[in-house]
Structure 1
């Protein structure tokens, strides 16, 4: 299917799993996890669900955006989409005075995202450490 098996989307999924490894999250490379949210029953994996799910949603959104184009979905586009999700969750957490669950979810991922994107992109999209500065 176009969401997982297509040669054009495989590089993005490989990047998603590379990010997971950088976060020391070892998930099987399985479309059921990324596409359907069916995680292994291992309780340690369930603990990482709040980190993984936004990554998968951002990847699916990035794939959908390039649906009919004969090109690979961009890693930079995926990171920008994750950054948008992160920013919205951060401001919602601040508004609701519930920052610590947001910190727990995004702290490590924030660092990985910032390390992967160029300084020009960071400047263009105003990407700066929100949590790392707490």
Structure 2
């Protein structure tokens, strides 16, 4: 799957380009494949990246096309066809979630991502590939994408509390891997942002990520979530 693109490209490439209604260049596919293969050593998030790329998840429309008896509409909104892109991106209920993630990534890292599926799902962020792979923003995206299948076939969408918990898990898994490989993490500042090697651990209960200079309040499940950034 990760070989250079040739005259017989993998089926998932054509499927994604059809879903996006956009052709992607060889260079863009190279970035996607590099970040999928080399993005993280945390196995479950690595596996999630492969599944998203390969269109592994079975959507309502795909089930309808295969067996003919399933409801082809989205199980969340119930009003539009449940295509792969709809279930992962264009569903109005899920759009709120992706806007939360975009805003949080901007507030934490100063990186403003375009609210587009190729950015959030295929990792075509426009950032330098090598440094982005090591960044906090990359891990925030991995955690956000991982949570969507956790609500598969449900009317609910992931919460910010779940997302913070997953970010914390990625940090802890990569910390253990680094410790196993005798890589010191002592040089990573808890307040670092942007292109740091790893994000600092987050607590799912205290809801505070100390970084720098601003305070953002968001309402989620009738609860105020404060991201407190201090120098």
Q: TM-score, normalised by structure 1?
A: 0.69
- Residue pair 1:25, 1:48 contacting (<8 A) in 2 also: no
2:175 equivalent among 77, 81, 90: 90
After superposition, the Cα gap between the structure-2 partners of 1:26 and 1:49, relative to the gap in structure 1 and judged at 3 Å, is: farther
Alpha-carbon shift at residue 46 of structure 1 (Å):
5.7
Q: Structure 2: which 5+ runs fail to align?
A: 1-85, 189-195, 208-231
Tell whether 2:113 aligns with 1:27. Answer: yes
Tell whether 2:148 aligns with 1:63. Answer: yes
Runs of 4+ in 1 over 6 A off after TM superposition: none
Trace 1:1-134 onto structure 2 (pairs within 5 A).
1-22=86-107, 23-40=109-126, 43=128, 47-50=131-134, 51-100=136-185, 103=188, 104-106=196-198, 109-110=199-200, 113-114=202-203, 117-119=204-206
User: How far apart, CA to CA, are the structure 2 residues paired with 1:89 and 1:99?
Assistant: 12
Alpha-carbon shift at residue 15 of structure 1 (Å):
1.7
- Residue pair 2:93, 2:157 contacting (<8 A) in 1 also: yes
Alpha-carbon shift at residue 85 of structure 1 (Å):
1.0
User: How far apart, CA to CA, are the structure 2 residues paired with 1:11 and 1:4?
Assistant: 10
Q: Structure 1: which 5+ runs fail to align?
A: 121-134
Larger Rg: 2
Q: What SS does the corresponding residue of 2:92 show, helix, strand or coil?
A: coil
Whichever structure has more helix as a proportion of its residues is 1
Aligned length: 113
Task: Tell me which of the two structures has the higher relative contact order, counting C-alpha pairs closer than 8 angstroms and 6 or more residues apart.
Answer: 1
- Residue pair 1:62, 1:73 contacting (<8 A) in 2 also: yes
